[in-house]
Amino acid sequence: MEIVGETHRGHQRPRNEDRIDWDEEAGVAVLADGMGGLPYGAEAARLAVEAVIRIARTHHGSDHTWLESGGDPADLVQLANRAVLSYTERDRRYEGMGTTLALLCAAPDEVALAHVGDSRIYRFSEGRLERLTRDHTPVQRAVETGEMTEAEGRRSPERNVLERALGAVTWAESDVTRLPRRPGELFLLCSDGLTEPLEDAAIAAILAEEDRSLNQRAQDLIEATLDAGGPDNVSVVLVRT
């Protein structure tokens, strides 16, 4: 397993409210995007990611990943949510902060995904990019019901309105997906700062550059986003199984 990641403030934001981290031995990668427009989004993202990595590192066996040791990704999401909520309970100045979360956990024969919000997880395999998550937004629901086209959804002023986020409620409902692990598959965790300016076809073209290292491809995704205007913080994590 190989994991790399890159994050950038973008051209228009005053600070970076995204957070990424991973632990290859634990088989866990995580990305959080602090909720724009709310106070202390960067702090919420930090708390969520640090909680995930701390638990994964301390609760996996010496020769077992966290998932292989019996971990449940939905539990990790709840513990990350609890970390954000506990912080606001101790200091009411931080009340209202929140974050998305995208999480990948791997075992020898399985990959488990969990997410809350509009940070996405994709799989790139055999030259095809497949989106594995659905945005928890009213716009996504409108696209799914046919009330709005994909193109209209990308332009909607409400596209960043979230129906779910960590720190917003006591119980954070996550979507969990379990997949068989296949050698050589590539997974992408990303904030919406990547997927708003770049179409899936552009992302797939960069991931298909097999002559470039995984780290170079992560950097290429960031550079392509910045070249497209870089309107938001942008973060990517690439995981090769």
Average pLDDT, the chain: 93
What percent of the chain has pLDDT above 90?
74
Sorted by where each begins, the domain ranges of the chain are 2-234
Confidence of residue 218 (pLDDT cuts 50, 70, 90): very high
Using only the alpha carbons of the chain, give its radius of gyration: 17
Residue 110 CB burial class (10 angstroms; 0-12, 13-18, ≥19): middle
Q: What's the pLDDT tens digit per position in 150-186?
A: 887 777 877 778 889 999 788 888 999 999 999 989 9
Please tell me the distance from the alpha carbon of residue 66 to that of residue 68, in angstroms, as a whole number. 5
- When pLDDT is averaged across residues 188-198 and rounded to a whole number, the result is 96
Which CATH code of 3.40.50.300, 3.60.40.10, 3.20.20.60, 2.30.30.60 fits the domain covering 2-234? 3.60.40.10
pTM for this entry: 0.94
Q: What's the pLDDT tens digit per position in 24-48?
A: 999 999 999 998 666 689 999 999 9
Residue with tokens 């449940």: 72
